[in-house]
Structure 1
Amino acid sequence: MVDNLPRILLVTEATLSQEGKGVNRTLVNLFDNYPAELLMLFCPEHELESNPTSSPFDRQVLSFAGHRLPIVHNRLGKSLNSLINWINLQLLDWFPISNLQKLEEFDPEIILICPVTSLCLLMGYKLTQHFHCPSLIYFMDDWIAIDNSRWLSNSVQKTANQLLKQADGWLMISEQLQTELSNRYQIKPQSSLIVHNPVDLSDKQPPDTARTHEGTFKVVYAGSIWSMHYDALAAIAEAIYQLRCDGKDIELILHTDKSFWNLYQEKWQQWQVTFGDLIPYQELNCYLNKHADMLLVTSSFLLENAPMTRSSVQTKLTDYMAAGKPILACGPDYSACNQFLKKWNCGLVCETNQIAEIKNFLLVVLDRQDLWQKIAITAFEVLKSNFDTKVVNQKLQVFVKNIVDRAAENSCVTESISSPKHLSFFKDDRTLLN
């Protein structure tokens, strides 16, 4: 634990719910051992209503009205929601900051903005203009690349540019994302840190190399299935189905929300994919260790999803690394997930969406149990050395504290230079005044 940690105002749509996924799960893991009295969460109220904050993060939570006009969740939404979003952003820009007195009483020493949508991007910017303290921006994917939302007084692109330019430090989920944003906005960060989802290894054991595979070979995918995942996942599903038709004892199991299953249910059933309920996070490691033979992560091959594929190291990767089973990543060669596994040499990478080629790839893998074990062992060791909660959180705390300390030192120097006492010499020295 780092001494004398600063008070952090965290501005994000992620509500720090223990049941959350993706960005939410990463933030929960990152602040797991941060003193609760030094952390205040500022979220859109509609997010807090649907996903209440879990203990101990619920000690200091404030909200703001993100959706003064509700989003339409029917066919009319396609034509109305862009206008509704425009109005909501303009109202958010015009209206005073909600709960400002309580925010001032908390008196943040640093503001950490982790936006998932334009709402917290804009609110984060408003807060940095009000509070004269250092700020950090944390992007976990490149959603701003495809968000061209505008409102009367500003836009997503201008606001992102302003936040990145004025930030005292950048936190990024990948080197690729940092490079992309730096090149796009022509900004070099004052300081930066790559921050992946950390995993608590205190109750986890290294892979059991004595265990041998028996029965059906189970390929498991755990998590959400957004458009940035689906087409690569579908290619794997079809390849595994064809292997089953060829007599191979292999099965693809999806552990995901029922809504994602239902969205593509006809295809999943056609390819004989097995549906498994979403596994609670606290049970994930034990389940994967006992019931999976290979863990799957997928990244879209479609050009329309390239900004997300290129930038986002998915949360599940480090969680998978703790399970003691080999990881298979399917996606294009520019996928951040593929690049991560290749950098650390801790997973298998399949960089094609051609079904015949995927089948051949899997056939080779199925015969190499020695390779599975080697990859699983390497992944666990990489995780232990680089992405264990203690390691990552320590680096983050040191990074944050250094920025606050540096800002305080610069402030003291500025005050010293501008202080009236430096003018007293000229006021008192008659010979110089004359």
Structure 2
Amino acid sequence: MSSNLPRLLVLTSSDFNLHTSGGIALTRFFGDWPKKRLASVCRDAANPDNYRQPNVYLLNREVGLIEPFASARRILSLLRANPAAEGEAVADSHPVAVASSLAERALAYLGGEALYSRGKLSPELMAWLDRFGPEVLFTDASDLSFIRLANQILDRYRIPLVVETYDDWPSGRYSGGLLSGHFDRDLKRGYVRLFNRASRRFVVGDAMKRAYERRYGMPFGILATPVEMGDHKPETASQNQGAAFTIVYAGAVYDHSQRESLVDVVRAVQDLADGGLPTRFRILTPERFVGTIQGDVASFGCVKVEVSPASDAIYSALSSADLLVIPVNFDRESYRTVRYSVPGKVALYLSSGRPVLVYGPSWAPIVDYVRSRGCAAVVDRRDGLAETISDLASDESKREHLAARGLEVARREHDADVVRRRLQRMFRDVLAPTDPSFAEGRG
């Protein structure tokens, strides 16, 4: 029935790829959508092949620094590059270099990130969209640029809209600059306008759904993170018999998300190892985080920090573990950042067939998610972590129960085949409404 799917335009910061979390999610959401009926407009292309795809438009002049600051920066860049082209180095004391430095400071003073919010349909993008002929727009509205672009596309093409949002990024996004208040108000107006125009609105978890429905006074559905259950064969819960009990964390390491609690886990594992329990901890993280976390844990002998494997090898890495861990920070700043977020890695962890431990505060949505489903062990206070890990290491039946329960939840809620079928049904219904469940936030 793929022939009756709408011509879908996907407007997101990431492209379709198997390297980033956003790209992987898009690939799994729309992996079997007819290629001629799917087009992507994106800013970041992690997949080099996408530069040559006719159904992919990479944003350039449509987003970025707003005018007149963009023109001023281009002029300064040209002036600074010109002497170098003639074989002269531009010293820091050169007038052009000084002007460039002052300009960057002025940008930070005036608005910083908020000034990088140009979102304007260019003639090139309009011509490209005209050739494709979109029937439905899907966007993650990931910053003010994309909110502006989405609203302009809707103004021009008068097509239905489906919006998803992964976290509460608009709250306090633009602050600290002279003009930040103006951009913050513009952001919130554009965000609300986009939600009002949407046929369907999606968030990532129960806590965010409740909060957004209270805040915006309209229904939201939950869009589950999909995993390809057929990509791997889940292992049994006892993986490393006779060897050290192996704990694995796979994911990013952000200051206001999991960094502090990840170090807590390292410290607990080291305490167990020092106490005589053969235990080791592997941290698999993207290359840009390796240096930071290595500095945090350099004094602990139990831990090894490694660059994350490619997405097609991640299941093997997870399956090598006796226990997978998801840490969440306890501090106030992290609360503001991740109070509604459910990490996408939870679906990947549960689908691996390995037992999972969540370490984080009771307010964290991931704690409520796994606790309500009984699919992971939980430590929701700053003490008791080492004891819980020790108990799990010595109780094989408990690990097997958690692994089996996690796999059951993954199959029921995150199987990409199931998620795709529901999405396709929803997109058909957007054009010819028959099923109100998504619109009413029950989907």
TM-score by length of 1: 0.83
Q: Residue 364 of structure 1 corresponds to which residue in structure 2?
A: 391
From 377, 380, 397, the equivalent of 2:404 is 377
User: CA 1:251/1:134 → structure 2, altered by over 3 Å: closer, same or farther?
Assistant: same
- Residue of structure 2 in register with 1:294 after alignment: 323
Maintained 8 Å contact 1:331/1:350? yes
Cα 1:310–1:88 shift into 2, 3 Å: closer
Equivalent position of 2:96 in the other structure: none
Change (3 A) 1:259 1:301: same
Query: Which of 151, 159, 170 is residue 144 of structure 1 equivalent to?
Result: 170
State the distance in 2 between where 1:238 and 1:77 align.
41
- Give 1:76 shift: 9.2
Task: Check if 1:208 corresponds to 2:236.
Answer: yes
Shift of 1:226: 1.3
**Quick check: 1:6–1:38 contact (8 Å CA) kept in 2?**
yes
CA deviations on 1:307-335 (whole Å, 9 max, x unpaired) are 44322221111111121210111111121
1:177 corresponds to: 208
Query: Which residue is 1:240 aligned to?
Result: 269
| Separation in structure 1 between the aligned mates of residue 122 and residue 354 of structure 2, nearest angstrom | 51
Counterpart code for 1:105: R
Aligned to 2:224: 196
Letter in 1 for 2:263: A
Counterpart position of 2:84: none
Q: Is the 8 A contact 1:134 1:167 kept in 2?
A: yes
Q: Is structure 2 residue 371 aligned with structure 1 residue 342?
A: yes
Q: 2:15 is matched by which residue type in structure 1? A: T
CA-to-aligned-CA distance 1:3-29 (integer Å, 9 cap, x gap): 5111111111011122122x2221221
CA gap 1:111/1:236 in 2 versus in 1, 3 angstroms: same
Which residue identity lines up with residue 19 of structure 1 in the other structure? H
Q: Equivalents in 2 of 1:353, 1:75: separation in Å?
A: 45
Residue 351 of structure 1 and its aligned partner are, at CA, apart by 0.8
Q: Is structure 2 residue 130 aligned with structure 1 residue 104?
A: yes
Shift of 1:96: 4.5
Instruction: Pick one of 64, 67, 74 that aligns with 1:67.
Output: 64
Residues 153 and 141 of structure 1: is their aligned pair in 2 closer, same or farther, counting only changes over 3 Å? closer
Query: Equivalent residue for 2:194?
Result: 163
d(CA) in 1 for partners of 2:336 and 2:414? 24
Counterpart of 2:355 in structure 1: which amino acid? P
Q: Partners in 2 of 1:16 and 1:121 — Cα distance?
A: 20
**Residue number in structure 1 paired with 2:17:** 17
Alpha-carbon distance, 1:210 to partner? 7.2
Counterpart code for 1:40:
A
Shift of 1:297: 1.2
Q: Report the counterpart of residue 85 of structure 2 in structure 1.
A: none
Q: Distance in 2 between matches of 1:175 and 1:37?
A: 35
Give the whole-Å Cα distance in 1 for the aligned partners of 2:394 and 2:423.
Answer: 41
Is the 2:239–2:321 contact (alpha carbons within 8 Å) kept by the matching residues of 1?
Answer: no
How far 1:78 sits from its partner (Å)? 7.6
CA distance in 1, matches of 2:260, 2:192: 32
Alignment of 1:30-429 (within 5 A): 30-44=29-43, 47-48=44-45, 51-52=46-47, 58-64=53-59, 65=61, 66-68=63-65, 69=70, 80-81=107-108, 83=111, 85-89=113-117, 91-92=118-119, 96=122, 98-148=124-174, 149=180, 151=182, 155-185=186-216, 187-189=217-219, 192-208=220-236, 213-227=241-255, 228-272=257-301, 273-289=303-319, 291-354=320-383, 357-406=384-433
Q: What is the aligned residue count?
A: 393
Change (3 A) 1:327 1:97: farther
Deviation at 1:87, TM superposition (A): 3.8
Q: How much does 1:373 deviate? A: 0.8
Give yes or no for contact 2:209–2:221 (8 Å, CA) kept in 1: no
Aligned to 1:413: none
Q: Compared with structure 1, are the counterparts of its residues 178 and 80 closer, same or farther at alpha carbon in structure 2 (3 Å cutoff)?
A: same
Structure 2: how far apart are the matches of 1:240 and 1:4? 54
- Please state how far the C-alpha of 1:211 moved relative to its aligned partner: 5.4
Q: How many Å separate the matches in 2 of 1:241 and 1:75?
A: 48
Bigger mean CA offset, 199-208 vs 75-84: 75-84
Residue 405 of structure 2 aligns to which amino acid in structure 1?
T
Secondary structure, aligned partner of 2:139: strand
SS in 2 for 1:311: coil
1:179 is matched by which residue type in structure 2? R
Deviates more, 1:343-352 or 1:76-85: 76-85
CA RMSD after TM alignment = 2.8
* Structure 1 residue 194, shift from structure 2 partner: 1.3
Kindly tell me: are residues 235 and 5 of structure 1, through their superposed partners in 2, closer, same or farther at Cα, counting changes over 3 Å? same
Q: Percent identity?
A: 18
In structure 1, distance between residues paired with 2:49 and 2:371: 35
- Is residue 236–residue 354 contact of structure 2 (8 Å, CA) maintained in 1? no
Shift in Å, 1:100: 0.4
CA offset digits 1:225-271 (Å, max 9, x no partner): 11211122121111212222222211111111232121232221123
Residues 366 and 86 (structure 1 numbering): CA distance in 2 closer, same or farther, change over 3 Å? closer
